[in-house]
Amino acid sequence: MITPNHLSILGIIHTAISILALLVAFWALFRSGRIDPLTGPGKRYIWLTIITCVTGLPIMRFGHPTGGHYLAIIILILLPIGIFARRMRFLGKLGEYVQVFVMSTTLFLSCIPLIIESLTRLPISHPIAYGPDDPLLKNALTGLLVIYAIGVIYQLIRVRTKHKTPPSLNKVVN
Protein backbone atom coordinates (compact mmCIF):
# COMPACT_ATOMS: atom_id res chain seq x y z
CA MET A 1 0.00 0.00 0.00
CA ILE A 2 1.31 3.44 -0.94
CA THR A 3 0.70 6.12 1.64
CA PRO A 4 0.37 9.82 0.83
CA ASN A 5 3.79 10.30 2.43
CA HIS A 6 5.55 7.80 0.20
CA LEU A 7 8.79 9.05 -1.33
CA SER A 8 10.19 7.79 -4.61
CA ILE A 9 13.86 6.87 -4.91
CA LEU A 10 14.45 10.28 -6.50
CA GLY A 11 12.48 11.88 -3.66
CA ILE A 12 14.67 10.16 -1.07
CA ILE A 13 17.87 11.24 -2.87
CA HIS A 14 16.52 14.78 -3.27
CA THR A 15 15.56 14.95 0.41
CA ALA A 16 18.94 13.64 1.61
CA ILE A 17 20.86 16.12 -0.55
CA SER A 18 18.61 19.01 0.49
CA ILE A 19 19.10 18.23 4.18
CA LEU A 20 22.86 18.10 3.63
CA ALA A 21 22.75 21.45 1.79
CA LEU A 22 20.86 23.06 4.66
CA LEU A 23 23.26 21.63 7.26
CA VAL A 24 26.23 22.99 5.30
CA ALA A 25 24.53 26.40 5.04
CA PHE A 26 23.88 26.52 8.78
CA TRP A 27 27.48 25.44 9.40
CA ALA A 28 28.69 28.29 7.16
CA LEU A 29 26.50 30.77 9.04
CA PHE A 30 27.73 29.47 12.39
CA ARG A 31 31.36 29.43 11.29
CA SER A 32 31.65 32.79 9.53
CA GLY A 33 28.30 34.53 9.95
CA ARG A 34 27.41 34.26 6.26
CA ILE A 35 27.30 31.94 3.26
CA ASP A 36 30.41 33.03 1.40
CA PRO A 37 30.72 31.45 -2.08
CA LEU A 38 34.52 31.66 -1.84
CA THR A 39 34.79 29.38 1.20
CA GLY A 40 34.58 25.59 1.30
CA PRO A 41 31.19 25.49 3.05
CA GLY A 42 29.86 28.17 0.68
CA LYS A 43 30.95 26.20 -2.38
CA ARG A 44 29.49 22.97 -0.99
CA TYR A 45 26.22 24.73 -0.18
CA ILE A 46 25.99 26.08 -3.73
CA TRP A 47 26.62 22.70 -5.38
CA LEU A 48 24.32 20.80 -3.03
CA THR A 49 21.60 23.42 -3.54
CA ILE A 50 21.94 23.20 -7.33
CA ILE A 51 21.64 19.40 -7.13
CA THR A 52 18.66 19.76 -4.77
CA CYS A 53 16.87 22.13 -7.16
CA VAL A 54 17.58 20.02 -10.24
CA THR A 55 16.52 16.75 -8.58
CA GLY A 56 13.37 18.42 -7.25
CA LEU A 57 12.12 19.57 -10.65
CA PRO A 58 10.99 16.15 -11.94
CA ILE A 59 9.21 15.28 -8.67
CA MET A 60 5.49 15.81 -9.17
CA ARG A 61 3.69 14.77 -5.97
CA PHE A 62 0.40 16.12 -7.31
CA GLY A 63 0.99 15.48 -11.02
CA HIS A 64 1.81 19.11 -11.82
CA PRO A 65 4.37 21.75 -10.83
CA THR A 66 3.91 23.22 -7.37
CA GLY A 67 5.27 26.20 -5.51
CA GLY A 68 8.34 24.13 -4.67
CA HIS A 69 9.19 23.87 -8.36
CA TYR A 70 8.97 27.64 -8.77
CA LEU A 71 11.10 28.16 -5.68
CA ALA A 72 13.75 25.86 -7.18
CA ILE A 73 13.80 27.92 -10.37
CA ILE A 74 14.06 31.18 -8.40
CA ILE A 75 16.92 29.73 -6.33
CA LEU A 76 18.72 28.62 -9.51
CA ILE A 77 18.40 32.18 -10.84
CA LEU A 78 19.56 33.77 -7.57
CA LEU A 79 22.62 31.57 -7.01
CA PRO A 80 24.73 33.03 -9.86
CA ILE A 81 23.80 36.53 -8.69
CA GLY A 82 24.94 35.65 -5.16
CA ILE A 83 28.11 34.02 -6.42
CA PHE A 84 29.18 36.90 -8.66
CA ALA A 85 27.68 39.94 -6.87
CA ARG A 86 31.00 41.06 -5.42
CA ARG A 87 32.57 40.98 -8.91
CA MET A 88 29.84 43.03 -10.58
CA ARG A 89 31.51 46.39 -11.08
CA PHE A 90 28.26 48.30 -11.43
CA LEU A 91 27.38 47.32 -7.85
CA GLY A 92 30.61 48.75 -6.50
CA LYS A 93 30.74 48.55 -2.70
CA LEU A 94 27.17 47.25 -2.62
CA GLY A 95 28.31 43.93 -4.13
CA GLU A 96 29.10 42.39 -0.77
CA TYR A 97 25.74 43.49 0.64
CA VAL A 98 23.92 42.07 -2.39
CA GLN A 99 25.84 38.81 -2.01
CA VAL A 100 24.89 38.44 1.66
CA PHE A 101 21.24 39.26 0.92
CA VAL A 102 20.95 36.93 -2.09
CA MET A 103 22.75 33.97 -0.52
CA SER A 104 20.60 34.31 2.62
CA THR A 105 17.52 34.52 0.41
CA THR A 106 18.42 31.22 -1.28
CA LEU A 107 18.63 29.61 2.17
CA PHE A 108 15.32 31.17 3.20
CA LEU A 109 13.61 29.92 0.04
CA SER A 110 15.09 26.46 0.58
CA CYS A 111 13.64 26.37 4.09
CA ILE A 112 10.08 27.00 2.90
CA PRO A 113 9.66 23.49 1.38
CA LEU A 114 11.54 22.07 4.37
CA ILE A 115 8.89 23.41 6.73
CA ILE A 116 5.93 22.61 4.49
CA GLU A 117 7.06 19.07 3.64
CA SER A 118 8.12 18.28 7.21
CA LEU A 119 4.92 19.48 8.82
CA THR A 120 2.58 17.96 6.22
CA ARG A 121 4.42 14.58 6.04
CA LEU A 122 5.73 13.91 9.55
CA PRO A 123 5.08 11.86 11.50
CA ILE A 124 4.09 9.55 8.67
CA SER A 125 1.07 8.08 10.48
CA HIS A 126 -0.40 11.44 11.49
CA PRO A 127 1.25 14.60 10.06
CA ILE A 128 1.42 17.67 12.27
CA ALA A 129 -0.21 19.96 9.67
CA TYR A 130 -3.11 18.89 7.48
CA GLY A 131 -2.30 21.10 4.48
CA PRO A 132 -1.25 24.52 3.19
CA ASP A 133 -4.08 26.30 5.04
CA ASP A 134 -3.18 24.86 8.44
CA PRO A 135 -2.64 27.75 10.92
CA LEU A 136 0.38 25.96 12.41
CA LEU A 137 2.03 25.89 8.99
CA LYS A 138 1.29 29.56 8.41
CA ASN A 139 2.74 30.42 11.84
CA ALA A 140 5.86 28.35 11.14
CA LEU A 141 6.39 30.16 7.83
CA THR A 142 5.85 33.52 9.52
CA GLY A 143 8.45 32.53 12.11
CA LEU A 144 10.84 31.57 9.32
CA LEU A 145 10.32 34.98 7.70
CA VAL A 146 11.09 36.75 10.99
CA ILE A 147 14.26 34.67 11.51
CA TYR A 148 15.31 35.40 7.92
CA ALA A 149 14.78 39.16 8.33
CA ILE A 150 16.70 39.28 11.62
CA GLY A 151 19.49 37.14 10.15
CA VAL A 152 19.88 39.28 7.05
CA ILE A 153 19.87 42.51 9.05
CA TYR A 154 22.50 41.07 11.40
CA GLN A 155 24.70 39.99 8.48
CA LEU A 156 24.37 43.35 6.73
CA ILE A 157 25.30 45.17 9.93
CA ARG A 158 28.38 42.92 10.23
CA VAL A 159 29.40 43.77 6.66
CA ARG A 160 28.93 47.48 7.34
CA THR A 161 30.90 47.25 10.59
CA LYS A 162 33.70 45.41 8.81
CA HIS A 163 33.94 48.19 6.22
CA LYS A 164 34.08 50.87 8.91
CA THR A 165 36.76 49.04 10.93
CA PRO A 166 40.36 49.94 10.03
CA PRO A 167 41.98 47.17 7.94
CA SER A 168 44.48 46.28 10.68
CA LEU A 169 41.62 45.54 13.10
CA ASN A 170 39.52 43.48 10.64
CA LYS A 171 41.53 40.34 11.41
CA VAL A 172 40.89 40.78 15.13
CA VAL A 173 37.14 41.52 14.69
CA ASN A 174 36.47 38.66 12.24
Average pLDDT over residues 122-135: 87
95-110 pLDDT per residue, tens: 999 999 999 999 999 9
CB-count burial class (<10 Å; 0-12, 13-18, 19+) for 128: middle
Give 125's Cβ-side CA count (13 Å radius): 0
Classify residue 28 as left (phi > 0), alpha (psi -120 to 50) or beta.
Answer: alpha
Cβ-contact 108, 144 below 8 angstroms: yes
Residue 174: pLDDT band (50, 70, 90) is low
Nearest one of 120, 149, 145 to 133, comparing CA atoms: 120
Bigger pLDDT: 33 vs 131:
33
67-77 pLDDT per residue, tens: 889 999 999 99
User: Per-residue pLDDT for 167 more than 80?
Assistant: no
**The predicted structure's pLDDT at residue 6:** 73
**The predicted structure's pLDDT at residue 3:** 45
State the pTM of this model.
0.85
36-84 pLDDT per residue, tens: 999 999 999 999 999 999 999 998 776 788 888 999 999 999 999 999 9
